[in-house]
Structure 1
């Protein structure tokens, strides 16, 4: 069943199905496995749903949904795979068990990457006999559209495995970054969490509504953030003097804002307040409709960014 270009996808929930779709679109054979009832039918349905968007982005010449194979036996699914993307539940005990099983059945030179959004590799990799090839390959949801992949190794991961993972994700059109030290939540989620904390705080303090906060980001800095990161945006704000000029003149005010940022603990009443705010913002629109429109604009943006080489 496997070929020299076969990727094993372990766990086919939302993230795993999205990864499988993307690997297929890149012209790989995909062998997927998941113990959940009706996993295969749900996977094939999700791949079919994702395919039109992938066609718009651009398929590899030999890409085909027919190259998807489902194997209920985990050991058989990973046997012969040239790369393995694991997407199991966010539980240390389950991850450890999965890595032990995958490691025992997969070729010893095959990388094993996990999509875990919070578990540290060092907490789970020593369950395998070959922990040096286990690392994090954390995507940003949905993986079949968003290019970012966060790559980080644990205490036992080899530098060669990190290099190979970065090269692999780059070769399939992703934008991988190397996180040099393990931290909970990795990078992108920590940055999001910092913004969420202040957004929640401002609503709780009555400074602005949920809708106003979303408008402030979506129609303000969020437009720039979709093109450039925080440091490059700050650099452009400084004109000829760049980021050095900005920090010299706006550094003290920025520091004063940092000191004034709020701290907030979530509670049932606050959670209800935020949920009501989003419902009011939707004004009767369905989440599905918003998702469809978001993905449509996202695809257009991705295509534009591909033709703008100066935007890193």
Structure 2
């Protein structure tokens, strides 16, 4: 056996893996910052080296063969291991006084940043570098040490500390909730009549929020009028303040608006199916800044009313 045949070059493997994942030479080329013809030639070179057909070609469309699909799965796993090992090598000399943390944008702006000065007062020699992102953190390929995320707590391969059990409140511009204000005086629970004619605003990352809220009160979800969706919770909050519609948001993210009467929450808070978590890979579990930040977060949230 020719051992060179068993170890194709990295450029050939990257071109093949991206092409198989996207089922497109064009999209693979965009990802790899190459031309479409260059990616196509690299895939053809790999097929010639292996003497295997990795794709069937139907016009401009490419479809991995059964062999190509199985090979892609193995190569993808191997590339993830290589990227993870390289990332660890590159970050091994990073200062032990810094921690790179990804956080949800609205949580970071509305809750974390207003309190972070207390962490620095307790740990003046430590540094938290914050990165706002909505998508899931990939510790194998991204230069991150930890992340604050929301979900059900089931993330394989990471340590997860539950920070806060999410509670959702219905909020609206006080001028836009006349029926809801009347309902508040009559009863603690909403009715279809109290919400009739109001537009339900949604966050795309939690499409079942209104369904869960309606189920809690025994209301028919389909009887309410769905409205625009938003990528960021902060944008939804701004839309509610502007009177575009009503929204469901975590209570801890609208405390200021409720205290200042810019928003009204006429009904009781409802527990959601999600919680906020601090997650991190095993490689940083003893990192001194991670330990200090984790302990500070848990202490801050334990002091929440």
Q: Per the shorter chain, which TM-score range?
A: under 0.3
More helix, by proportion: 1
Larger RCO (CA within 8 A; separation ≥ 6):
2
> What is the TM-score with the length of structure 2 in the denominator?
0.27
Greater gyration radius: 2
More strand, by proportion: 2
